[in-house]
Chains A and B, each alone.
Chain A
């Protein structure tokens, strides 16, 4: 079973508008962390935002916010006021807690390619 599912292979958004990138996850752990990374065409991986399973408030970092719905096991990334430079591949990732027996590696989704249109 997929641990991280990103159902949108590609998304388009008009410059200055908001966009939501979907991510659902599967874990039996009570303690876990969810991360979003951005990978522009140049290839590097850029950390954007983190949400802990016990965090009561949705995480925000500048124009990025995370719509965390624990009961639905979803952690959607919201980018407000899109800019041309936001065009990139976006990956959702999860780190499960010690109770799962996992080490501290991240499990990644397959990514969403976001294109911002001028």
Chain B
């Protein structure tokens, strides 16, 4: 499968636990974006990364959330000490080039995070 791969597809955590969401971009893509979708809403931008660099994290909550895209391996979105309000679908997208207006972002199938 040459598409954006996210895992797990579903993740259940108890309040206070940590959630780790993984994203492998499409082959050849070096730009990764994370979005959050609350029920009945559109996607909201969280963070934009290139390999080993966070380019824009203006949409990320200041506490408990972090993201990385290491030189090797997938991008990780990490949520520490999860709370009920973190329950959402988290989507990763990748693009070939971050500078072209016409570059579509290709999305993974998302991770549905449920907090008990």
Task: Give A contacts to B, CB under 8 Å.
Answer: 4, 31-33, 35, 37, 42-47, 50, 52-53, 91, 93, 95, 97-98, 102-111
B107 on the interface (CB 8 Å rule)? yes
The range of chain B's interface size is: 20 to 34
B12 on the interface (CB 8 Å rule)? no
Contact residues in A for B18 (Cβ distance below 8 Å): none
Q: Which of B43, B48, B99 contacts A91 (CB 8 A)?
A: B43
Contact mask for chain B residues 54-71; partner A; CB cutoff 8 A; 1 contact, 0 none: 011011000000000000
Beyond the given A53-B101, A106-B35, A108-B44, could you list 17 further A-B residue pairs with CB under 8 A, ordered by the A residue number?
Answer: A31-B101, A33-B101, A35-B105, A44-B107, A47-B105, A52-B101, A93-B43, A103-B55, A103-B58, A104-B33, A104-B95, A104-B99, A106-B33, A106-B93, A106-B105, A107-B45, A109-B42
Contact residues in A for B98 (Cβ distance below 8 Å): 103-104
Contact present for A105 and B107 (CB under 8 Å) = no
Nearest residue (CB) in A for B44 is A108
Contact residues in B for A37 (Cβ distance below 8 Å): 107
* Sample of 10 A–B contacts (CB below 8 Å): A32-B101, A33-B102, A42-B109, A44-B108, A45-B93, A45-B107, A104-B95, A106-B105, A108-B35, A108-B43
Contact present for A106 and B99 (CB under 8 Å) = no
Contact residues in A for B103 (Cβ distance below 8 Å): 104
Task: Give B contacts to A, CB under 8 Å.
Answer: 31, 33, 35, 41-45, 48, 55-56, 58-59, 89, 91, 93, 95, 98-99, 101-110, 112
